[in-house]
């Protein structure tokens, strides 16, 4: 009988099988790694209806986060401030700027400004700002150096494992409660090597939930 297969087939067949197995295993890795929020979500920085600059307000002018996001210590949501809050200053400040004009018109019409949401959690994950602030987790820990962002950008993956990393070992991310809104905290030597357990102002040691119903109800 004549040969059915040519010589080279002996080599190619092997090469193909080996490569296929390689691809299979790398696929699992690719999906679990490059399709995680760390790669899909971080850096999300949508265009906002009003070009509000945190860099200017929180950074250069050093306004405290809580001047606008004033429910952060009492509620789950660090609510976006009502337009009225902007008008507190902008009745007099930079009234002629076109961006402020948008705000004023919205306010006069009693319409809200349609901000685009940056930090989005799944609907079945229940996050509460108040308890994190109370525990002394800095704004910057999750939101990054907002004081340096002209336009707000997602800083952390906000993925479950990312949350868990801190819930399992919170102390590296804790700071004195007075410093929660201090964007630069940590860079200053004053608080170098802060030890939460030694902090006299803490009434209790932080025990974040690690069980399911801690976040999923």
Partner 1 sequence: MAGIVPDLPRADHFGLLAEYNTPGELYRACEKVRDAGYSVWDAHCPFPVHNLHKAMGLKPSVIPRIVFAGAMMGAGGGLLMQWWMSSEGGYPLIIAGKPLFSWPAFIPVTFALGILGGVFGSVFGMFALNQLPMYHHPLFGSKRFESVTDDKFFISIVADDPKYDREKTMQLLKETESSSVEFVENN
Partner 2 sequence: MSDKPITDNANYDPLDGRAPLIIGGHDFHSLTEATSKPLESKATTAWKIIFSISLCGLALYLGLIGWLVWKGTGVWGLNNPVAWGWAIINFVFWVGIGHAGTLISAVLYLFRQKWRTSINRSAEAMTVFAVVCALSFPGIHVGRLWNAYFLFPFPNQMDLWPNFRSPLLWDVFAVGIYGLTSLLFWYVGLIPDLATIRDRATTRGRQIAYGIFSLGWRGSFRHWWNYEKAYMCLAGLATPLVLSVHSIVSFDFAVSNLPGWHTTIFPPYFVAGAVFSGFAMVITLMVIVHKAFGMENIITMRHFENMSKIILLTGTIVGYAYGMEFFIAWYSGSEYEAFAFYNRASGPYAWGYWIMISCNVLSPQIFWFKKCRTNLVVLFIVSIFVNIGMWFERFVIVITSLHRDFLPSSWDYFSPTWVDIGMLIGSFGLFMTLFCLFCRYLPVVATSEVKAVLPQADPHYDEKGGH
Partner 3 sequence: MIEKNKMTEWRSLETRDPDAELSAELLNEFPEGAAEESLTTTSRREFMGVMGAGMAVGAGMMSGCVRKPVEHIYPYSNRPEHTIPGRPKYFATSIPVGGVVSGFLIESHDGRPTKLEGNPDHPTSLGAASAQAQASVLDLYDPERATTPSTSGVESTLADVDTLLAGIAAKAVGNKGEGLALLVESRPSPTYERLLGVVKSTYPMAAIYRDDATERVNARAGMALMGLTGLPFLHVDQATTILAIDSDFIGYEGEAVVNARHFADGRRVVKPGDSMNRLYVIEPTFSITGAMADHRQRCASSDVGGFVSSLVAALAKHGVTVDLDVAALATQKVRDFDEKWIADLAGDLAGATGQSLVVIGERHPAVLHAAVAVINDALGGTGKTVSYLAESGVTEAGTLSDLVSGMNASKVDTLVVLGGNPVYTATGDLDVKTAMAKVATTIVVSSYAKDETAAVATWHVAASHYLESWGDWTASDGTVSVQQPLIAPIFKTRSELEILSALLGKSATSHELVVETWEDRLSGKTWRKALHDGVAVAAKRAPAGTLASAGLNKALAGLKTPTAVSATNLEVNFVLDTKLVDGRNANNGWLQELPDSMTKLTWDNAALMNVKTAGRLGINKTPKRSGVKTYDMVEVSVAGRSVKLAAFISPGLADDTIFLNLGYGRTNGDIATGAGVAVNVLRTQAASAFAGGATVKTVSGRYPLASTQDHWFMGPDPDESPLFAELGERPLVREITQDDYEKHPDAIDHMGVHTPHQENLWPDVQDYSKGQQWGMTIDLNSCTGCNACAIACQSENNISIVRKERVLKGREMHWIRMDRYYRGEPDNPTAVFQPMACVHCENAPCEAVCPVGATAHSPDGMNDMVYNRCVGTRYCSNNCPYKVRRFNYFAYNRDETVTSVNPFLADDEKLSEIQKMQKNPDVTIRFRGVMEKCTYCVQRVNQAKIEAKVTGDGVVKDGDIVPACQQTCPAGAIVFGDQNDPTSRVSILKKQARDYEVLGELNNRARTTYLARLRNPNPAIEKRSPSSHGGDHGEAVAAAHVGDAGHGTHAVDQHTEEKHD
Q: Which residue has the tokens 């899909």?
A: 40
- Which residues neighbour 37 within 8 Å (Cβ) at sequence distance 6 or greater? 157, 158, 159, 162
Least separation in angstroms between residue 18's CB and partner 1 is 7
- Identify the residue among 105, 164, 171, 188 touching partner 2 (CB under 8 A): 164
How many residues touch partner 1 under the rule CB under 8 A: the total is 18
* Cβ closest to partner 3, residue 96 vs residue 123: 123
Q: Which partner, partner 2, partner 1, partner 3, none, binds residue 189 by CB below 5 to 8 Å per kind?
A: none
Site of interaction with partner 3 (CB under 8 A): 40-41, 44, 46, 71, 73-77, 79-84, 106-107, 110-117, 120, 122-124, 126, 128, 130-131, 134-135, 203-204, 207, 209, 211-214, 216-217
- Rounded CA-CA distance 215/127 in Å is 7
Does residue 10 belong to the site contacting partner 1 (CB under 8 A)? yes
* Residue 148 binding partner per list partner 1, partner 3, partner 2, none, with a CB distance cut-off of 5 to 8 Å that depends on partner kind: none
Q: Which of 157, 176, 186, 208 binds partner 2 (CB under 8 A)?
A: 157
| Residue 193: CB atoms within 10 Å | 5
Q: Which among 196, 216, 194 is positioned nearest to 206, based on CA atoms? A: 196
Radius of gyration of the chain (CA): 25
Residue 136 φ/ψ region, left for φ over 0, alpha for ψ in the -120 to 50 degree band, beta for the rest: left
């Amino acid at each position: 009988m004549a040969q059915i297969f040519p010589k080279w087939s002996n080599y190619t067949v092997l090469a193909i099988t080996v490569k296929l197995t390689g691809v299979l295993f790398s696929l699992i890795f690719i999906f679990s790694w490059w399709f995680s929020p760390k790669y899909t979500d971080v850096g999300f920085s949508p265009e906002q209806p009003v070009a509000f600059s945190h860099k200017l307000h929180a950074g250069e002018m050093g306004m405290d986060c809580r001047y606008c996001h004033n429910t952060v210590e009492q509620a789950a949501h660090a609510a976006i401030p009502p337009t009225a809050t902007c008008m507190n200053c902008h009745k007099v400040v930079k009234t002629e700027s076109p961006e402020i004009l948008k705000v004023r018109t919205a306010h006069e019409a009693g319409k809200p400004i349609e901000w685009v949401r940056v930090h989005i959690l799944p609907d079945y994950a229940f996050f509460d700002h108040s308890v994190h602030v109370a525990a002394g987790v800095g704004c910057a820990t999750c939101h990054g150096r907002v004081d340096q962002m002209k336009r707000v950008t997602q800083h952390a993956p906000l993925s479950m494992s990312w949350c868990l990393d801190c819930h399992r070992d919170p102390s590296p991310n804790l700071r004195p409660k007075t410093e929660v809104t201090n964007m630069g905290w940590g860079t200053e030597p004053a608080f170098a090597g802060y030890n939460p357990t030694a902090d006299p102002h803490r009434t209790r040691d932080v025990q974040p939930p690690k069980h399911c119903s801690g976040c999923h109800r």
